[in-house]
Chains A and B, each alone.
Chain A
Amino acid sequence: MHDWPLLSLIIFLPLVGVGFILLIRGEGETQNRNIRNVALWTSLATFVLSTLLWTNFDSSTAAFQFEEKLPWISAFDIYYHLGVDGISVFFVLLSTLLTPICVLASWEAIQKHVREYMIAFLVLETFMVGMFCALDFILFYVFFEGVLIPMFLIIGIWGGPRRIYAAFKFFLYTLAGSVLMLLAILTIFFYADTFDIPTLMTTRLPLEMQYWLWLAFMASFAVKVPMWPVHTWLPDAHVEAPTAGSVILAGVLLKMGAYGFLRFSIPLLPEASVYFTPLIYSLSIIAIIYTSLVALAQTDMKKLIAYSSVAHMGFVTIGIFAGNTQSVEGAIVVMLSHGFVSAALFLCVGVVYDRIHSREISDYGGLVHRMPLYAFVFMVFMMASVGLPGTSGFVGEFLVLLGVFQANTWVAFLAATGIILGAAYMLWMYRRVIFGELTKDTLKRILDLSPREILVFAPLILLVFWMGIYPEPFLDVLHESVGQLVERYELARIASENLALAGH
């Protein structure tokens, strides 16, 4: 069992599914049904396989586990090197969980080019999982950039009316950052002569160099997070993307930036990270307050949730750079929680969009009369989004703010205003969509959740409460890896303080 290349299996199993889908022949609906089934079962199998990572995870060590290392391009010392630690393992699980949910959510909504659509999602899964497992810089870069291709296609082909604009905006923003990251990776290679991430984690890079490298990484990660002011691609991409596209975008792709900060910026460039922390603080606080206010003014449900995502990710970046145990663990929990809560909120929008084909808040009202079950589900995720204790949203936000308060009270104070604004825009939207009298003719015959939709939401609801009430199994896995990260960061902080003192 331990000899199995488990990570490779998880990464490439979706591609096996792609192979089968390509082989499927048949007519119209039968063919589409077969394609959907293959996609679903492949992604489910991948998910089941990935749970082995969690059950077999050794939470007593911060080292990388399930490692695989094969030479890839030996001329440049590039390896096919995989492994997960406490920080990355849940992101693998998040990706493998959301993929079958996406497939199921697109069951009826997608009727054209079903084959290509499902292939795009399975390929996307391969890239996502690969990215979180990669321990070689070039391998990471390939997966990191690779993710963009299927996503770009999903928005551009199956998106809404302004999909081309949105796809290009998405593409431009993210590519611009990536080029700088590539330069940074190469610079590191020329200095340290290796692409191996675990090796680099113990290498100390010169301070001058760290600053430039940090900014180059930041250019790439900040776009992905997204941080203010490079966030404007997100609302457009979400609005135009099909429901499942939004789910992956919010659920996993937004985490790539923050993961980058955790995996590279802080361990590789700790001194620079300390140096630039005030920048991150300011941008994140602006993001939290600014985008929460903007969310208040939205008339489109998806845009509103998209803006709320930016605000939530603001908590994540603050937590990461505050750099103590609670804040970093909190940041990871926020990422995971946001991963399935915002995904679920987009699915909630998708449910009514499939029925009425509108995302405008003003086209709804009084849905609770016809859709009580939907109202309940929506309520659960809304409450998780505003961080009600007992839901997953609370644990993360609470830990982040608790940790940040130890580092800087102003930051905690300002960021905490986000919890007031967050409640304001969510409750207000919920009221306009769900409550009130049902007067609109278009809504008079709307149907409540179908069994398929219940199946989509059930695991997510379970997770919201599990993580909210008993987050121990999650936190337990994080402790060692986060502990090591925090320790290293703390040393860098002390070092730079000494440096500052010596300078005086």
Chain B
Amino acid sequence: MYTAAIFLPLLSAILVGFFGRWLGDRGSQLVACGLMFVAAVLAVPILNDVALEGHGQVIRIFSWIESGALDIAWSLKFDTLTAVMVLVVNVVSLVVHVYSVGYMHGDPSVPRFMAYLSLFTFFMLMLVSANDLVQLYFGWEGVGLASYLLIGFWYDKPSANAAAIKAFLVNRVGDFGFGLGIFGIFFLFDSVLLDAIFASAPDKAGTTLHFLGLDLDALTVLCLLLFVGAMGKSAQLGLHTWLPDAMEGPTPVSALIHAATMVTAGVFMVARLSPVFEYAPIALNVVAIVGATTAFFAATVGLVQNDIKRVIAYSTCSQLGYMFFAAGVSAYAASIFHLMTHAFFKALLFLAAGSVIHAFSGEQDMRKMGGVWKKVPLTYTLMWIGSLALAGVPFFAGYYSKDMILESAYAAHTLPGQYAFWLGIGAAALTAFYSWRLILMTFHGKPRADADVMAHVHESPKIMTLPLIVLALGAIFAGYIGYEFFVGHGMEAFWRDAILVLPSHSAIQDAHHVPAWVKQLPIAMGVIGIALAYLFYLFAPKLPGLLAGRVDGLYRFLLNKWYFDELYDRLFVNPAKWLAHGLWKQGDGALIDGVGPDGVAAATRDLARRASRLQSGYVYHYAFAMLIGVAGLITWFFIGEMG
């Protein structure tokens, strides 16, 4: 059962990937969806078994890399954290598989698409069930590969290709940190097995590590290095630039990979390594600050974007920031809780956006939409549900998890905690604002699309709306159902030893006893955000333009995403290109070759030309040279013999 839940998607990828041509579009969809369905169903008893019954286990498959003290085996670790992730991944993946049947209808390479989706799911499952850091890294890079393939799925589009490469490379920068973290862990712990690391982490607290010429606190350095990896995968400030561009991929991909699952891998990693992070308080503070800053930064950028998918992408970036600062104040459980609810409502938002794009014949610019809410009532309703959950309106899923995060940040009573709390509150208002800006621009007002497109606006087929309804149910109920288990009174029995929190880091427990205003403030901010959006985009539509003109500098700063791309181009991309060309032409060409072989070769060729007058053919040159060698050899021997 356990093994099947992980490997069925791989089977699907192999079958559909290699035999898609024979299976045909319909066959491929059936195989992929069928196998995914079984995998998703299996995830339920697994969660029950592991989390509720307490039958966590490690399944060893076969050995992978053995070298000296390093001993890594392919294995599947199942504890509550893994079981939760497996459920989320498999369910969202199934929904997206089914949705894709409708969304990719008519695309010339349906089997390839299904195979990539399944392959992604497999890597993601390997990631969450890793028993050691190297298998985690395997899944980590694997989802990166799948993401690269899927972003660049429409390989005719230069922008898609560029986005795919960017995603892979920015992630590699993160993985560079992750890799060094693994090496350092092995250096310190003599093992990369999670259990071995966790067992000796308390002893290693306070030891120093000689890294890059400096003596630093070992666990802090290692956690920060690993966190660089998490930042890359989860698009945190500085390494976030790939995520908005990744929206070049088909919309189901954005929902599965760039909202619900892959981008949360960084959050998962920090939670998974909580027994190490707990002993590195400085690293935790950094996590909290980076997370909070990202939450706020991405929300500001989300305010002014015009591409419907980019708005949601920045929203994802921002929500991931929330998850990180929760982890940063040791509220890992809250962070995973939000991860779970977010997976439902963000996948819902993306797929609903896909449905909108579908209705508008492929248009993604919200400035060319509007006035269709009566024509696509179901999509419209679903978008509302997703947005209500995202904004944290009471009793929707996001309300439970997001408020828990904010309360934990407040209850942590640390400086980074306060920083995170206030930025989080600010971002909450922004979130509500951009969500309703999206709804109002997309569905309300006068139609701004041309008549042709408007005539074609239609509700999506059932194969697309049914999966949306499943997600909508999650977006409504997941928070209410999960609350007790994830962060409520049942949490100790639920998590068991999957997450470690030191007794002194009691943010979650304290979060239940914060002042009333802390609980009410996020809701108030949400309502204010929604109200403002109505004011700006429905009641006084001239306001946004007026405001943008008034604070033109700020507006353009936000529209251009704080100029990160431009900065990186100037700092890294252009110098690298310049250096590359310079080294090649000047270094290799002029300097090394010019002084070295070409000079000598010119002289030799003269000599050789003379030699070749005696004999033609190059063998003889060589034989000639060999002869000299042999002569030298013999001479030496005779000298030796005589001496």
List chain A positions with a Cβ less than 8 A from chain B: 76, 145, 148-149, 152-153, 156-157, 165, 167-169, 171-173, 175, 178-179, 182, 186, 189-190, 229-230, 232-233, 235, 290, 293-298, 324-326, 329-330, 366, 368, 383, 388-390, 394-395, 398-399, 401-402, 405-406, 409-410, 412-413, 416-417, 419-420, 423-424, 427-428, 431, 434-437, 469-472, 475-476, 479
Residues in A with CB closer than 8 Å to B156 are 366, 435-437
Residue of A nearest to B603 (CB): A172
B637 contacts A402, C-beta separation under 8 Å: no
Residue in B66, B186, B587, B618 whose beta carbon sits within 8 Å of that of A156 in the complex: B618
Q: Which of B153-199 contact A (CB under 8 A)?
A: 155-156, 158, 161, 164-165, 168-169, 172-173, 175-176, 179-180, 182-184, 186-187
B176 contacts A172, C-beta separation under 8 Å: no
**CB 8 Å contact bits of B625-643 with A (1 = contact, 0 = none):** 1100100110011001000
Residues in A with CB closer than 8 Å to B210 are 409
Interface size class of B (residues with CB under 8 A): 35 or more
Shortest C-beta distance, B342 to chain A (Å), equals: 27
A152 to B640, CA, bound (A): 33
A471 contacts B64, C-beta separation under 8 Å: yes
A169 to B618, CA, bound (A): 14
Residues in B with CB closer than 8 Å to A405 are 180, 183-184, 186-187
The answer to whether residues A290 and B169 also contact, given A169-B597, A173-B597, A409-B212 and a CB cut-off of 8 A, is no
Residue of B nearest to A325 (CB): B68
B576 contacts A390, C-beta separation under 8 Å: no
**CB 8 Å contact bits of B58-76 with A (1 = contact, 0 = none):** 0000111111111000100
Shortest C-beta distance, A477 to chain B (Å), equals: 12
Residues in A with CB closer than 8 Å to B173 are 420
A388 contacts B145, C-beta separation under 8 Å: yes
B592 CB-CB contact with A under 8 Å: yes
Residues in B with CB closer than 8 Å to A471 are 64-65
List chain B positions with a Cβ less than 8 A from chain A: 62-70, 74, 134, 137-138, 141-142, 145, 148, 152, 155-156, 158, 161, 164-165, 168-169, 172-173, 175-176, 179-180, 182-184, 186-187, 210-213, 576-577, 579-581, 583-584, 587-588, 592-593, 596-597, 600-601, 604-605, 608, 618-619, 622, 625-626, 629, 632-633, 636-637, 640
A470 to B65, CA, bound (A): 8
Residue of A nearest to B622 (CB): A149
Residue in B63, B587, B600 whose beta carbon sits within 8 Å of that of A290 in the complex: B587
A419 to B179, CA, bound (A): 10
Residues in A with CB closer than 8 Å to B626 are 145
Residue in A296, A394, A410 whose beta carbon sits within 8 Å of that of B576 in the complex: A296
A324 contacts B68, C-beta separation under 8 Å: yes
B70 contacts A326, C-beta separation under 8 Å: yes
18 A-B residue pairs with CB within 8 Å:
A149-B622, A153-B618, A157-B618, A172-B604, A294-B583, A297-B580, A389-B134, A389-B138, A395-B65, A402-B182, A416-B179, A420-B173, A423-B169, A427-B169, A472-B64, A472-B66, A475-B65, A476-B66
B183 contacts A175, C-beta separation under 8 Å: no
Residues in A with CB closer than 8 Å to B576 are 293, 296, 424
The answer to whether residues A424 and B169 also contact, given A168-B604, A389-B138 and a CB cut-off of 8 A, is yes
Residues in B with CB closer than 8 Å to A469 are 64, 74
Residue in A179, A294, A330 whose beta carbon sits within 8 Å of that of B588 in the complex: A294
Residues in A with CB closer than 8 Å to B142 are 388-390
The answer to whether residues A296 and B577 also contact, given A399-B67, A436-B155 and a CB cut-off of 8 A, is yes
Residues in B with CB closer than 8 Å to A389 are 134, 137-138, 141-142
Residues in A with CB closer than 8 Å to B597 are 169, 172-173, 232-233
A469 to B169, CA, bound (A): 24
Residues in B with CB closer than 8 Å to A368 are 155
Shortest C-beta distance, B21 to chain A (Å), equals: 9
A431 to B169, CA, bound (A): 13
A152 to B64, CA, bound (A): 40
B180 contacts A402, C-beta separation under 8 Å: no
Q: Is the interface of A mostly helix, strand, loop or mixed?
A: helix
A368 to B155, CA, bound (A): 9
Residues in A with CB closer than 8 Å to B176 are 416-417, 419-420
Residues in A with CB closer than 8 Å to B183 are 401-402, 405-406, 412
Residues in B with CB closer than 8 Å to A410 are 212-213
Residue in A296, A326, A423, A428 whose beta carbon sits within 8 Å of that of B68 in the complex: A326
A476 to B63, CA, bound (A): 12
The answer to whether residues A296 and B580 also contact, given A388-B141, A390-B142, A405-B187 and a CB cut-off of 8 A, is yes
Residues in A with CB closer than 8 Å to B182 are 402
Shortest C-beta distance, A166 to chain B (Å), equals: 10
B601 contacts A172, C-beta separation under 8 Å: yes
A293 to B577, CA, bound (A): 8
Shortest C-beta distance, B476 to chain A (Å), equals: 39
Residue of A nearest to B623 (CB): A149
Residues in A with CB closer than 8 Å to B152 are 431, 435
A297 contacts B134, C-beta separation under 8 Å: no
Residues in B with CB closer than 8 Å to A423 are 168-169, 172
The answer to whether residues A402 and B165 also contact, given A413-B212, A475-B67 and a CB cut-off of 8 A, is no
Shortest C-beta distance, B218 to chain A (Å), equals: 12
A367 to B179, CA, bound (A): 34
Residue of A nearest to B165 (CB): A427
Residues in A with CB closer than 8 Å to B625 are 175
Residues in B with CB closer than 8 Å to A297 are 577, 580-581, 583-584
